[in-house]
């Protein structure tokens, strides 16, 4: 989009609650320019709530289908929304942004205990990759430390177990010495949700001290824990898990568990894995599963081809993100709307028509919305 009129037309379509929002217009919100972003920010809260929710959800679904699409500038606007569902979708869209200017907003949302716990859990989850960036020297140490300390404070003091567990999972990337005792404590809890989180965090740790914890949970009776243990075995490259996975993958009756087993084997590699994948391919009829196994074979070829050494030679220090802590603390990132946009929307609707939309913004009208499929608001929390 190169003109103000085009973004105006898109916003008008968002405002028009008497008609479905044309799904084809979603693509035009990819790679918004600064003027378009400012214009959208100015009127964002005028868009009826249910339309804002569904619009963000469908952008997230579309981004999963086509990763080339970039809706991050829309998400930056939506992150300032007061509605938790909208914010969760925005966090989803920004998950891979690697934008250090998001950190102050995330930390502020995490620390606001009056906000929705599911949204705050999503924020904690989104902070995990920034710790990883710090661990590989792509983020300044002082910024990483600030994130870690905020998550630790949340873990120790928050009233929400969901937010505490997501904070622990994010801290799984951290090499701080106080993290392993927290993971060990969580793994020993009777609460299976905490054990699941412990397995997930251990998989992020790149620390083989967790081998025995992971191995003993590979056949846990709780499916969610078992899935996370399999995932961790792959992430930690646990060769002792290979025989178990080779034996059990044929009988895995849960699709997610089966895929986790296949991918873990691809990461671990070694004797018998390629033959197992070939056997699975020979028996598989579903095209999607065939494609997945073929991707796993490609990963296996990388794993067994000694290409892992190439990862160690990546000059991470040359890719460090410029991210000054003082600058972030002073940067409120408010959108300033240019004068040329001040009169936008003045004649969109007359007052009576607009009030009717506003009065209806909390209702759910399935006929008025669009969808790319089922949306699970908990998947990122």
Residue 200 has pLDDT above 60, yes or no: yes
Going by pLDDT thresholds of 50, 70 and 90, the confidence category of residue 6 is confident
Residue among 19, 40, 18 at smallest CA distance from 29: 40
**What would the pLDDT profile of 23-63 be if each residue is shown by its tens digit?**
999 999 999 999 999 999 999 999 999 999 999 999 999 99
pTM comes to 0.80
What lies within 8 Å, CB to CB, of 284 at 6+ separation is: 290, 293
Assigned architecture for domain 203-320: Alpha Horseshoe (1.25)
By the 10 Å C-beta count (0-12 exposed, 13-18 middle, 19+ buried), 43 is classed as: buried
pLDDT for residue 329 is more than 90: no
Q: Which of 156, 159, 160 is nearest to 171 (CA)?
A: 156
Which is more confident, 163 or 357?
Answer: 163
Q: In this structure, what token pair is assigned to residue 101?
A: 């200017």
pLDDT tens digits, residue range 132-163? 999 999 999 999 999 999 999 999 999 999 99
Mean of pLDDT values over 358-364: 35
Output 157 or 67, whichever has higher pLDDT: 157
State the span(s) of the chain assigned CATH 1.25.10.10: 203-320
Residue 222 is classified by DSSP as S
Q: Which of 96-100, 122-126, 253-257, 330-334 has the lowest mean pLDDT?
A: 330-334
pLDDT given at position 319: 59
Instruction: Report the range of poorest mean pLDDT among 7-21, 208-222, 326-340.
Output: 326-340
Is residue 94 scored above 80 in pLDDT? yes
For 270-292, the three-class secondary structure string (H helix, E strand, C coil) is: CCCHHHHHHHHHHHCCCHHHHHH
Based on its alpha-carbon atoms, the radius of gyration of the chain, rounded to whole angstroms, reads 23
């Amino acid at each position: 989009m190169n003109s103000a009129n085009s973004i105006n037309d898109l916003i008008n379509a968002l405002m028009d609650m008497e008609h479905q929002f044309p799904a084809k217009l979603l693509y035009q919100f990819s790679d918004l320019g600064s003027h378009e972003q400012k214009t959208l920010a100015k009127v964002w809260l005028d868009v009826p709530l249910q339309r804002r929710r569904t619009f963000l959800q469908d952008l997230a679904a579309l981004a999963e289908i086509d990763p080339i699409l970039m809706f991050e500038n829309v998400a930056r606007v939506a992150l300032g929304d007061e509605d938790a569902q909208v914010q969760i979708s925005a966090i989803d869209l920004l998950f891979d942004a690697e934008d250090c200017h998001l950190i102050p907003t995330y930390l502020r949302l995490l620390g606001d205990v009056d906000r929705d716990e599911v949204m705050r859990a999503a924020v904690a989850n989104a902070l995990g990759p920034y710790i990883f960036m710090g661990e590989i020297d792509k983020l300044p140490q002082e910024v990483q430390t600030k994130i870690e300390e905020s998550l630790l404070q949340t873990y120790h003091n928050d009233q929400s177990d969901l937010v505490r567990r997501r904070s622990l999972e994010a801290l799984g990337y951290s090499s701080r010495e106080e993290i392993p005792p927290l993971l060990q404590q969580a793994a020993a809890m009777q609460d299976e949700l905490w054990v699941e989180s412990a397995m997930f965090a251990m998989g992020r740790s790149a620390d083989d001290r967790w081998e025995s914890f992971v191995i003993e949970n590979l056949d846990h009776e709780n499916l969610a824990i078992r899935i996370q243990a399999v995932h961790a075995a792959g992430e930690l490259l646990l060769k002792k898990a290979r025989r178990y996975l080779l034996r059990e993958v044929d009988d895995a009756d849960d699709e997610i568990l089966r895929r986790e087993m296949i991918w873990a084997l691809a990461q671990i590699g070694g004797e018998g894995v390629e033959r197992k994948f070939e056997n699975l391919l020979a028996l598989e009829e579903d095209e999607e599963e065939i494609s997945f196994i073929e991707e796993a074979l490609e990963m296996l070829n990388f794993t067994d081809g000694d290409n892992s050494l190439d990862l160690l030679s990546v000059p991470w220090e040359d890719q460090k993100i410029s991210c000054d802590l003082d600058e972030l603390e002073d940067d409120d990132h408010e959108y300033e709307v240019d004068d040329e946009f001040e009169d936008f929307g003045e004649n969109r609707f007359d007052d009576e028509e607009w009030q009717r939309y506003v009065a209806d913004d909390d209702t759910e009208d399935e006929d008025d919305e669009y969808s790319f499929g089922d949306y699970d608001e908990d998947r990122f929390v």
